[in-house]
Structures are given as structure tokens and as C-alpha cells.
Amino acid sequence: MTESTMRVINPATGENIEEIPISSREEVDAAIERARGGFREWQGFAGLDRAEVLHEISARMREHADELAKVMTLEGGKPYIENHDEVGWTAACFDYYGEIARDSVGYLPAPIEPQQLALVVKEPVGVVACIVPWNFPLLLAAWKVAPALAAGNSVLLKPSEETPLATRRMIELMGSLPDGVLQGVYGAGNVGDALVRHPGVDMVAFTGSQTTGQKVAHVAADRLIRVNLELGGKDPFIICDDVDIDIAAQGAVWAACLNAGQVCTSSERFYVMSEVADDFVEASRSFVESLNIGDPMDRSTDIGPMINGPGREKVERHVGEALEKGAKLVAGGERYGERGFFYKPTILTGVTPSMTVMRDETFGPVVPVVEVGSLDEAIEQANSVPYGLGANVYTQDFEKMLKCMRELKAGTVWINDPLTDNDAAPFGGQNGSGIGRELGREGLEAFRESKHVHIDPKVEKKEWWYPYGPDDESGQRTM
């Protein structure tokens, strides 16, 4: 590897897949210049024409779903089945924004005088830098790129240095866009930072960790540019005593272990009513032990490797510290296999709020279980960390559903159906989990400027202009 290239590693084997060039400063400058040219052309497209291009992109993605899923599996380690689903969701996101963006490009507020016309016109922001992590490379790119393009912006997309290959292929498949409208920029954090600082970038849409998000926000604040931040989480999962505990345990384990626990909305803290806590732990243990860990390319694999050594070491630190402080290991708690970055699904009981595994994002397949005496206690503990991305609840009691809906501090509350996304509904974090929303109408608005246009068809002197003094003998103004 030279200073101008980066290695892409297969996390299931630790082997090198490919070495690819890092975008140089000159290449970033040139890309931004091309993006400016592309923007001038693309913003002039009619809504229907833009929609057609986005539908074409979606169709190309579906045609190449197997190929894209294989590349994502090789570079990211997520099981093939999950990656294949991801390509389908990515395509659906392009279809959705192709349609809703042409539905409306503004609205008419009531004017302040009867003869006037007030318009609010929605315009693209300009050149948008989209910076994404490695855990859902295509989907998280689509949540930004699709609405940004649908709104008429041009885009520079920087994938994570861990997973650039599927993104590079996706961009190749988007050849129906005019030149410069979507380009890839490759490299690690320094390349992302250069993009955020570049005077040719008008907006940044970022998904990644809280720490990096803060850095991006500082630079964006100095430059006074628009920024959307989708950051980490520490999602709680509440299990009430009125549900089938086997099903709740399977939902809980899936929500904690999907993509080896490396989902921003992975459930990382489990609050279980004490009446059913022992049954829940036992059902979770038996389910976890039935899962297939192994080659993510294998269609029967449930759990693949973690992304890299540092990611796995962080999980080991969190679990190790919890055990040192008195937590009990019910399952897992160790590496799996001779090569790659596998870690066994792990269940802990006896955890306390001060343990790191209950406070900081673990981002690994860990199920820490806390017994609680009431729903109030569960909600209070659920809301006790400086994150607020998602929250899950299992209950059949409608009053409890409403209470959780109202009182949980989270951007998404899932009741009895963990971790499902909906293109048509906003996604994002409260508290320290982000600023702004992706998906839904909010996700399109994020990439649009509002311009108020105020038209008075009559050219006449207005009564509120100068002079302010009385202009007849009675002391009254005449207009």
C-alpha cells in the first residue's frame, strides 16, 4: 500500500481484496468543478425527467442485485442475505424520491394583500457532499443521494475506507445521470474532512459516529453551511410481561445481532419486567446458541464477522469491563474461528447503568439484560443515556404502547416489530444521535432551500412608506 492507495480487506478472512487509489486534493478540486457544471444542467431538468432517471437507476440496481450483494459481503462481512435485501431497499429509495420530488416544488401561503401572490419555491442547495459509514454502504448512501438528486443537487459521495467497492460499482451503474451530477470520492477521514472544508461544497450529509459527527458539525458551523447528521445510538429494548417471551427473545436477539450488532439502531440495552426476566434470558440463550456463525457468503449464515480488529476489540473491552464489575456471562463472550473478525453473540445479566456496555455504543452482538420492576422504571432507564436514535418495545397492552410512544426519547419507536425502516417515514436521532432527518418528506426537505417570492401586480405607493408625519390639517395620514 502506498500513500495514494488504500487496501480493502475481507473481514471474514483478513485477506486483501483490492487496493484502490485514494482521491488526491487535485482530484477532489476537479470533481467539485465538474459537480458545479453538472448541477447547472441537472437543476434545469423537469420533475418527470428527473424521476425517469431515478427509476432507471433503481432498475439497474435491481438487475445487478446479486453482483452488488456479493461485493458488499466480501468487503463488509454482512451476510449475503442481508446485503441482497439492502440492494432492494436501496433501489426502492430511488423510486420513492423520484416520485415524491415531482409531487410538489413549493406551496402558496396566503398573501398579505388580496391582489398579491405569495409563493414558496423549493430549490436545490447546490453541490452536496455525502459521507457514509461501512455498515450499510449502499442504503445509507441512497438515503442521501436519492433525495439530493431528486431535489436537483449534484453529489460527491464518499464511502467509508472500509467498503468503497460496492459504492464504486453503484456509481458506475448510474451512468444515466448527466456528467458530474454524481461522483465518488475515495479515502479515509482526511478526505472526508477536505470535502467538508471545500469552498465548493454547499452542504454536507453525514452518517457516522458521534465523535466524527461533532468534527463535521464544527467545520460546517465555521463555514455556515447546511449539515445533516445521522450519528450513533445506544438503543433500548423494553420487554413487558404480557407477550410471548420466545418471540420477544428472538426479536431481541435479532435486533442486537443483525449485522453482528453493527447497525446504528442495534438494540444495546434490554429492560425486561422481572416476572419474565429469567424466561427471557433462557429463551435468548437457547436462540443465540442455535445461530449459524461463519462465512457471510453462505446463504445459511446468520452472523458474519465484525468489520475489523478495532471494532471487535471495542466489544471485548465493553464485555470485559462488565464482567470485571460483576456482570454474569450467559452466552458467548469470546472470539469465533481462527481467522477474520468474528465474535460470538453474547448475553450478559447483572449489568448496571455505570458500566460502559450500558452507556457507550458497543456496536457488536451483545445482549445486556436488566430486570425492571415497572414500565416507568424501564422508560426512565431507557431515556438515561445521551443518545436517542431508536427504541423498541414488546407489549400487547395498548395503554403501554401509547405510554412508550409518548415518553421514550427516540427518533423511532418500534412496537412489536424491531428495526424496520419505511422510506415514507422520517429516520434520525434525538439527543446526541443526530440533527435532521433522512427518509420521508423531511428527507427531501433536507436537500432543498426555501425561497419566498412575493408578487404585487400593481405598481403603487404604499401607505406605510415615508413620510410618517400627518399630511392633512386634522393630523391624520391620508393614505
Residues that bind ligand NAD (CB under 6 A): 131-135, 140, 158, 160-161, 188-189, 192-193, 196, 207-209, 212, 215-216, 230-233, 264, 361, 363, 389, 429, 434
CA angle 49, 172, 55 (to 5 degrees): 30
- Which residue, 69 or 264, is less far from ligand NAD as judged by CB? 264
The three grid cell numbers given for residue 22, joined into one nine-digit string: 485514494
Query: φ and ψ at 369, to 5 degrees?
Result: -110, 130
Report how far residue 217's alpha carbon sits from residue 196's, in angstroms, rounded to the nearest whole number. Answer: 9
CA distances to 138, 276, 278, 326, 348 from 371, in Å: 38, 9, 9, 15, 12
Q: What is the smallest separation between the CB atom of 51 and ligand NAD, expressed in angstroms?
A: 25
- Which residue, 52 or 442, is less far from ligand NAD as judged by CB? 442
Report how far residue 410's alpha carbon sits from residue 428's, in angstroms, rounded to the nearest whole number. Answer: 9
Q: What is the smallest separation between the CB atom of 314 and ligand NAD, expressed in angstroms?
A: 10
- Which residue, 210 or 346, is less far from ligand NAD as judged by CB? 210
Q: In this structure, are strands 235-239 and 267-273 parallel, antiparallel, or unpaired?
A: parallel
Q: Give 268-324 as a DSSP string.
A: EEEEEEHHHHHHHHHHHHHHHHTSPBS-TTSTT-SB---S-HHHHHHHHHHHHHHHH
Q: What is the smallest separation between the CB atom of 466 and ligand NAD, expressed in angstroms?
A: 51
Q: What is the smallest separation between the CB atom of 207 and ligand NAD, expressed in angstroms?
A: 5
Report how far residue 80's alpha carbon sits from residue 68's, in angstroms, rounded to the nearest whole number. Answer: 10
Report how far residue 400's alpha carbon sits from residue 375's, in angstroms, rounded to the nearest whole number. Answer: 8
Q: What is the smallest separation between the CB atom of 112 and ligand NAD, expressed in angstroms?
A: 41
Q: What is the smallest separation between the CB atom of 169 and ligand NAD, expressed in angstroms?
A: 17
CA distances to 115, 118, 332 from 462, in Å: 14, 18, 77
Q: What is the C-alpha radius of gyration for the chain, rounded to an integer number of angstroms?
A: 26
- Which residue, 11 or 294, is less far from ligand NAD as judged by CB? 11
The catalytic residue among 230, 268, 361, 371 is 230
- Which residue, 212 or 430, is less far from ligand NAD as judged by CB? 212
Report how far residue 181's alpha carbon sits from residue 197's, in angstroms, rounded to the nearest whole number. Answer: 20
Q: Which residue is nearest to ligand NAD (CB)?
A: 192
Q: What is the smallest separation between the CB atom of 439 and ligand NAD, expressed in angstroms?
A: 10
Report how far residue 208's alpha carbon sits from residue 230's, in angstroms, rounded to the nearest whole number. Answer: 7
Length of the chain: 479
Reduce the secondary structure of 132-171 to three states and give it as a string. CCCCCHHHHHHHHHHHHHHCCCEEEEECCCCCCHHHHHHH
- Which residue, 152 or 411, is less far from ligand NAD as judged by CB? 411
Question: Measured in whole angstroms, how far is the alpha carbon of residue 298 from the centre of its chain?
Answer: 27
Burial 205-224 (b: 16+ CB within 10 A, else e): bbbbebebbebbbeebeebe
The question of whether 162 is a catalytic residue gets the answer no
Q: What is the smallest separation between the CB atom of 218 and ligand NAD, expressed in angstroms?
A: 9
- Which residue, 150 or 231, is less far from ligand NAD as judged by CB? 231
Question: Measured in whole angstroms, how far is the alpha carbon of residue 436 from the centre of its chain?
Answer: 11
- Which residue, 79 or 192, is less far from ligand NAD as judged by CB? 192
CB atoms within 10 A of CB 180: 23
Which residues are catalytically annotated?
A: 230
